[in-house]
Amino acid sequence: MEIDQIRRLIHRGRFAVVDHAITEGLKDRITVADMLQAIRNGKIIECYPERDCCLVFGSSASGLPVHVVIDFSARYMVDIITTYVPQGDQWIKSQVRKRGRKR
């Protein structure tokens, strides 16, 4: 799924934020509004077609770098399944995974 398709579904209200995303977001002070903002201004940086998921990198309204993992297996809607602030020891400029590191 392309980022524009994801944005359209979210704009139409065809999305859910799962409990795990809310719990993980709270740890990094990421709100649901921050997640949606990151998707609106972000880009897909990793695709996981075997799991019907992708990783989006964007910024919150305050400029905080945010990663959002989106599941699009339902096709008619998307689920925001987790979110976090990318750590410098694992990511280059919050967008490229350092070799040998997986979250």
The answer to the question of residue 73 being in a domain is yes
Distance CA 9, CA 14 (A): 5
Task: Name the pTM for this structure.
Answer: 0.89
Is residue 77 within 8 A of residue 10, CB to CB? The reply is: no
Distance CA 93, CA 90 (A): 10
More confident residue, 91 or 76: 76
Residue range 22-75, pLDDT digits in tens: 999 999 999 999 999 999 999 999 999 999 999 999 999 899 999 999 999 998
Overall domain count for the chain = 1
Is residue 5 within 8 A of residue 31, CB to CB? The reply is: no
- pLDDT of 98: 79
How many CA atoms does the CB half-sphere of 100 hold within 13 Å?
A: 1
Instruction: Note down the domain range covering 25.
Output: 3-87
DSSP bridge partners of 44:
56
Question: How far is the first Cα of the chain from the last one, in angstroms, to the nearest whole number?
Answer: 22
The answer to the question of residue 43 being in a domain is yes
Which two tokens mark 42?
Answer: 């972000």
